[in-house]
Amino acid sequence: MSVLLIEDDVDLGKLLTQFLEMNDIEVVHARDGETALDLFERIEFDLAIIDVMLPDTNGFKIAKVFKQQKPDLPFLFLTAKNKKEDIISGLKLGAEDYITKPFEPEELVLRINIVLRRNLQNGNQTLDIGNSSLKHDELKLCTPQNEYKLTQKESELIAFIIKNKNRLIKRQIMLKTIWGENDYFLGRSMDVFISRLRKFFKDDPMIRIETFRGVGYIFRDN
């Protein structure tokens, strides 16, 4: 999971970066709008956290650019602007959440995981990988030779890996995003799900699932 954090307060930015990374969330920190837009164009992020008050612009303008160029990228505001009209403005722009300062870092991690799970569950588009496609809203996976009816959890997991294909996905991140927590027994359950996915994709030569024992997986789309 990769997050773009846009926060001009140096100390708060460092604190949040350290806390999020302790929770297996990769963070790229930008202190102004110009840097944030440059990073946004060059790097694929799973989520953006945007402060409204920035030295060279405001977070609402940044969010508008994000929404226009990458409408599928979820974002939330993290700001001291707590007036009702500010909150309404932020949510109208399409923000998944609006968190006002002060706040607890644990709350931010919880909100991030809720946003990512909600986006997976509510996805209604067709997602492609290799020669296969996931019809997320129909809970259906179509491979070159077969069509599989999926459970909700299988569909969420496949949607997650398609959106993160060709990069290492850590086990902890998969567990926290799909199952809600990093737990030994849930980890064993996830291993069973991965075994099912290998069977689902066995007739698609374009897809390869690589295991990095104790670390995570890469889902190759060749």
Segment 22-49 mean pLDDT: 91
For residue 148, the surrounding DSSP H or E stretch is strand 147-149
Task: Output the pLDDT for position 120.
Answer: 65
Kindly state the tokens that stand for 116.
């990512």
Reported as a pLDDT band with limits 50, 70 and 90, residue 63 is: very high
| CATH of region 126-221, choose from 3.30.1220.10, 3.40.50.1100, 1.10.10.10, 3.40.50.300 | 1.10.10.10
pTM exceeding the 0.75 threshold for the entire prediction: no
Q: Tens digits of per-residue pLDDT, 85-123? A: 999 999 999 998 999 998 888 888 888 888 877 776 665
Which range among 91-95, 133-137, 147-151, 179-183 shows the weakest confidence by mean pLDDT? 179-183
Reported as a pLDDT band with limits 50, 70 and 90, residue 164 is: confident
Write the DSSP string, 7-18. Answer: ---HHHHHHHHH
Task: Output the pLDDT for position 143.
Answer: 95
CATH 3.40.30.10 fits 2-121, yes or no: no
Position 205 pLDDT exceeds 60: yes
Position 125 pLDDT exceeds 90: no
Reported as a pLDDT band with limits 50, 70 and 90, residue 34 is: very high
Query: Is 91 buried (19+), middle (13-18) or exposed (0-12) by CB count in 10 A?
Result: middle
As a whole number, the mean pLDDT across the chain is: 89
Alpha carbons 150 and 157: distance in angstroms, whole number? 10
Domains 2-121 and 126-221 equal at CATH topology level:
no
Higher pLDDT among residues 32 and 112, named by residue: 32
Percent of the chain scored above 90 by pLDDT? 55
Position 181 pLDDT exceeds 80: no
**Backbone phi, psi, residue 164, to 5°:** -120, 25
Task: Output the pLDDT for position 24.
Answer: 76
**Residue ranges of the domains in the chain?**
2-121, 126-221
